[in-house]
């Protein structure tokens, strides 16, 4: 973390004690002009009342999965598990695909909610006027477990990221239309629940998300006590408190301190006082804490008391909402055992590369950094380790199997083989597959005109490959990369066979309620020729703008913001 501070203008506060700014603006440091302070006060008034934004509520998941032991066998916890729909959006990628050795990666979206909808959360601090109000997804971290279980990647998205929200439909039928403009990512939770946050990530990253875990903070204090403390470090004495009372109240001396209980809570929600006082800085502090906590679990066995472990498990379950695929204790246990296979030295914490928005009215908000954000997402999609170490090479003569210990160091993107599943029919012969081709060659930004008659050309190409029912559509689209979308599970295998015939990757096939059948969208990457333009070689290490922090780095130390020392 040392030296990784972001030069900031602003990026919203979610620190407790009243400093959070839902708009993304930040007040000036102590000593700013009176007019500037008044303007900052106006912009932060609403968030000041939100004493606790659950800055790192995902940490209770880390505690749950890293310390998972016998207590997860307590079947009485099953009745306490709260579930919600996995994906409320129209685009569903169908889950992670196995690699050539039959091993499947796992992608889990960790969501930290600032909900104040029960007595336990409300008792943690004021803000009575926000009780039972709409929750915000103030922490969003994608945890990627490699197919060979050799490494783990975590990608945080700043809560002030602006993006297009997809259409989300709640199980009860209520529809939240797709946004017509950019929306702050933490508002996704208000559009039907965690399933819409998953949908927003899916649309932005094209990463198939297998599970989500949404957690609030009511169990974190007791969990931090049960761990016995987590070492953290600051480069100077720090006191997270402004003259007008904002800040988390965190007060630590220079150097390393072992924190637990409410001090740990303060660390996790501190923004005023770290680096440049932005939400990005808080993310870096959360990464330091999570890595340190993982190391603590590895080197000691503090949680050996069955009563204490049961209490800890109950606290985690009470504070968590998961998708329906994790609705049983044994499923959570199995997941925890998979996560425990990765040593801290192969855990890489990153932040999505970002830039400040230059759009009118979005001062202080951020957007994904062109090129580098996509590079990070691509590494996750293609199961490439972010630390640049690759994966272990298979033993000589080893044959692919689900139990193989490793995968190639930089696996190629698998093509969409027409496999079957319990919910999809076998692929039909190409001559029987009806596929509509739409011209989407202008790209999403519309910077280039669509290539005339491109849908006709590609439809003819498909006919030459045996898809006699391929037809060009008069409707068009806007896609940067060529995709195949299908409407029903029964069409999944046929859609995959279309992609395979064209040499498209598995991630180019997705289910969507927005198409009438199997529709091929010819994207900006296929403006000419018989095949889409291949993407450049995938990166082999996370971009420097992602501020990667390795789990074995026990020397990480948070820089302290000017004006917050004592």
Q: What does the pLDDT look like over 460-499, one tens digit per residue?
A: 999 999 999 999 999 999 999 999 999 999 999 999 999 9
Q: What does the pLDDT look like over 352-381, one tens digit per residue?
A: 999 999 999 999 899 999 999 999 999 999
| % residues pLDDT > 90 (the chain) | 49
CATH of domain 430-526: 3.30.70.2390
* Cα dihedral 6/11/14/15 (nearest 10): 50
Beta strands in 428-499 (DSSP E): 435-439, 470-476, 483-486
What is the per-residue pLDDT for 74?
A: 58
CA atoms within 13 A on the CB side of 345: 3
pLDDT range class, residue 133, cuts 50, 70, 90:
low
Longest C-alpha distance within the chain, in Å? Answer: 76
- 410 pLDDT higher than 70: no
Give phi and psi for 125, each to the nearest 5: 160, 160
Domain with CATH 3.30.70.2390 in the chain: 430-526
Rounded Cα distance, 6 and 375, in Å: 20
Q: 240-253 b/e with 16+ CB inside 10 Å = b?
A: bbbeeebbbbbbbe
Q: What does the pLDDT look like over 201-252, one tens digit per residue?
A: 999 999 999 999 988 766 566 666 666 788 999 999 999 999 888 888 999 9
What is the per-residue pLDDT for 217?
A: 63
Tokens for 511, please give them: 């289910």
Q: What does the pLDDT look like over 240-257, one tens digit per residue?
A: 999 888 888 999 999 999
| Average pLDDT of the segment spanning 293-302 | 67
Q: What does the pLDDT look like over 102-121, one tens digit per residue?
A: 899 999 999 887 654 555 54
Compute CA distances 374 → 20, 177, 367, 368, 379, whole Å: 29, 25, 12, 8, 9
Q: What does the pLDDT look like over 328-353, one tens digit per residue?
A: 888 887 888 888 888 889 999 999 99
DSSP string of 90-153?
S-B--SPPP-TTS---EEEEEEEE----SHHHHTTS--GGGTT----EEEEEEEEE-TTSS-EE
pLDDT range class, residue 455, cuts 50, 70, 90:
very high
What is the per-residue pLDDT for 8?
A: 35
The rounded radius of gyration (Å) of the Cα atoms in the chain is 24
Domain with CATH 3.40.630.190 in the chain: 48-388
Q: Would you say 80 and 320 are in contact if contact means Cβ atoms under 8 Å apart?
A: no
Rounded Cα distance, 262 and 313, in Å: 19
Compute CA distances 373 → 272, 284, 379, 429, 468, whole Å: 26, 17, 10, 39, 40
Tokens for 445, please give them: 């930004």
Rounded Cα distance, 566 and 561, in Å: 11
The rounded mean pLDDT for the chain is: 79
Place of tokens 């906590």: 293
Among candidates 489, 486, 525, 518, which has minimal Cα distance to 504? 525
SS3 sequence of 208-253: CCCEEEEECCCCHHHHHHHHCCEEEEECCCEECCCCCCCCCCCEEC
- 271 pLDDT higher than 90: no
Tokens for 286, please give them: 């959360």
- 404 pLDDT higher than 90: no
- 324 pLDDT higher than 60: yes
Rounded Cα distance, 103 and 404, in Å: 7
Report whether CATH 3.40.630.190 matches the domain 48-388: yes
- 447 pLDDT higher than 90: no
Tokens for 51, please give them: 């004493």
Q: Would you say 523 and 482 are in contact if contact means Cβ atoms under 8 Å apart?
A: yes
Mean pLDDT check: name the lowest of 38-42, 424-428, 497-501, 541-545: 38-42
Three-class SS of residue 485? strand
| Average pLDDT of the segment spanning 46-68 | 43
Tokens for 444, please give them: 């999403």
């Amino acid at each position: 973390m040392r030296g990784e501070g972001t030069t900031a203008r602003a990026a919203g506060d979610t620190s407790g004690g009243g400093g959070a700014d839902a708009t993304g603006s930040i007040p000036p440091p102590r000593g700013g002009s009176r007019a500037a302070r008044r303007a900052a006060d106006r912009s932060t008034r609403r968030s000041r009342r939100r004493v606790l934004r659950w800055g790192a509520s995902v940490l209770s998941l880390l505690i749950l999965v890293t310390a998972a032991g016998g207590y997860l066998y307590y079947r009485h916890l099953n009745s306490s598990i709260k579930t919600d729909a996995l994906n409320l959006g129209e685009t569903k990628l169908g889950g992670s695909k196995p690699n050539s050795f039959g091993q499947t990666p796992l992608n889990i979206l960790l969501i930290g909610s600032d909900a104040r909808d029960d007595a336990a959360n409300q008792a943690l601090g004021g803000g009575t006027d926000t009780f039972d109000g709409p929750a915000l997804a103030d922490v969003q971290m994608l945890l990627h477990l490699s197919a060979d279980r050799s490494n783990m990647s975590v990608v945080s998205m700043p809560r002030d990221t602006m993006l297009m929200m997809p259409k989300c439909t709640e199980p009860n039928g209520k529809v939240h239309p797709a946004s017509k403009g950019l929306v702050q990512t933490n508002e996704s939770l208000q559009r039907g629940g965690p399933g819409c946050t998953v949908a927003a990530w899916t649309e932005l990253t094209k990463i198939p998300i297998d599970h989500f875990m949404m957690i609030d903070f009511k169990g974190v204090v007791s969990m931090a006590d049960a761990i016995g403390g987590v070492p953290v470090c600051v480069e100077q004495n720090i006191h997270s408190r402004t003259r007008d009372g904002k800040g988390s109240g965190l007060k630590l001396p220079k150097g390393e301190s072992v924190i637990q209980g409410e001090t740990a809570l303060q660390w996790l929600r501190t923004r005023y006082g770290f680096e440049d006082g932005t939400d990005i800085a808080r993310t870096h502090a959360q990464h330091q804490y999570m890595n340190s906590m993982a190391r603590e679990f590895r080197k000691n066995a503090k949680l050996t008391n069955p009563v204490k472990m049961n209490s800890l498990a109950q606290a985690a379950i009470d504070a968590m909402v998961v998708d329906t695929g994790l609705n049983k204790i044994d499923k959570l246990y199995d997941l925890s055992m998979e996560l425990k296979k990765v040593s801290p030295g192969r855990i890489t914490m990153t932040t999505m590369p970002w830039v400040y928005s230059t759009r009118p009215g979005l001062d202080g908000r951020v957007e994904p950094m062109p090129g580098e954000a996509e590079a990070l997402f691509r590494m996750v999609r293609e199961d490439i380790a972010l630390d640049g170490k690759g994966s272990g090479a298979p033993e000589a003569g080893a044959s692919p199997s689900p139990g193989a210990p490793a995968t190639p160091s930089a696996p190629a993107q698998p093509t969409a083989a027409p496999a079957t599943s319990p919910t999809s029919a076998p692929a039909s012969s190409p001559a029987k597959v009806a596929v509509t081709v739409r011209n989407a060659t202008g790209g999403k930004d519309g910077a280039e005109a669509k290539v005339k008659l491109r849908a006709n050309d590609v439809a003819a190409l498909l006919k030459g490959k045996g898809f006699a029912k391929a037809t060009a559509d008069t409707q068009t689209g806007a896609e940067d990369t060529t995709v195949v979308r299908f409407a029903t599970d029964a069409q999944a295998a046929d859609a995959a066979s279309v992609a395979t015939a064209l040499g498209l990757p598995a991630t180019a096939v997705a289910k969507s309620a927005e198409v009438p059948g199997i529709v091929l969208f010819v994207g900006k990457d296929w403006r000419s020729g018989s095949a889409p333009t291949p993407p450049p070689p995938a990166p082999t290490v996370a971009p420097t703008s992602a501020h990667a922090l390795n789990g074995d780095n026990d020397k990480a130390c948070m820089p302290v913001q000017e004006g917050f020392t004592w």
